[in-house]
Structure 1
């Protein structure tokens, strides 16, 4: 996987379909995401999402890793999935990093506040107490 990531990083138009046979399990996907550059192009994001369906993944660890990258790189196709994830997942260690990442930009802050308004009633009191402080 490391060799393929290196090739891909040095050639932005490299087709990541080559990863498909090497990256199969959730652990391999998480590893791949952990080795990706934090700042990648829209085209690279789109290739990776189409290859692995990261945005619609059902694995919360893969989702968290991908959504952090998507927020940093303003990858709009993941927005609806991020909102759904934040509304449906109440685990602090999975949602607080996403809210914090969203708060780094004015448009992200607006999205975070909109999502939180809908999601807050479903969160555990410990979760919404922590998020109330972060989002104030």
Structure 2
């Protein structure tokens, strides 16, 4: 019997484990990047945000959902006050691609941090003019 040329498919459990490990890694990245600018923070979290897209013509008017990943910092001990510190630069139509895209964004920011050296870094904030990222004018902006 010959081997199939198809890639092996992941089981649902393997898929969930991969998602959990990726989220843990991203949370570690967020903590590394934003703790210097939020030393009194009460922790960080990732939000997986689903948004309805425009209805598609090919699917009888059904709208596709897209996913944006956001990182937040808790500003109060009871976690009732928080703010967004980062957001994925591109919306995706699946959780895994959205998490992978956000990891690229955070890795780029870690590269910029290491290029600047160990000195105190300026606060960064997202500046947005469009939803889907840099093509629409989204970029990091230094704040003093």
TM range, normalised to the smaller chain? under 0.3
TM-score, with normalisation over the residues of structure 2?
0.19
TM-score, with normalisation over the residues of structure 1?
0.20
Higher helix share: 1
